[in-house]
Amino acid sequence: MKKSLLIVLCLSMSYFLTAQEKEKVKQKEIGLVFSNLDNFGLTYKTGTEKSLWRFNTMVISGDNIEETEDSLFSTQNQLGFGVKIGKEYRKNIAENLELRFGADLSFSYSHSKIELDDKTVNDFDRLREQSIYRPGVNLVFGFNYELSDNFVIGAELLPNFTYTTGSRTETNYYTYQNDEVKTDISGFSYGLSNSSALLSLVYRFH
In this structure, is residue 188 part of a structural domain?
Answer: yes
Please give the pLDDT value at position 23: 53
Q: Is residue 15 part of a domain?
A: no
Stretch 123-145: mean pLDDT: 93
pTM for this one?
0.77
SS3 121: coil
Cα–Cα nearest to 136, from 83, 198, 183: 83
* 150 phi/psi in degrees, rounded to 5: -110, -25
The CATH number that applies at residue 195 is: 2.40.160
Mean pLDDT of the chain: 85
In a domain, 24, yes or no: no
Question: For the chain, what percent of residues have pLDDT higher than 90?
Answer: 58
Query: How many domains, in total, are found in the chain?
Result: 1
Tens digit of pLDDT for each residue in 64-113? 888 877 777 889 998 888 999 999 999 999 999 999 999 999 999 999 99
**CA-wise closest residue to 111 among 127, 130, 126:** 130
In tens, the pLDDT along 29-52 reads 999 998 876 678 899 999 999 999
Q: Is residue 51 included in any domain, yes or no?
A: yes
State how far the Cα of 49 lies from the Cα of 26, in Å rounded to an integer: 7
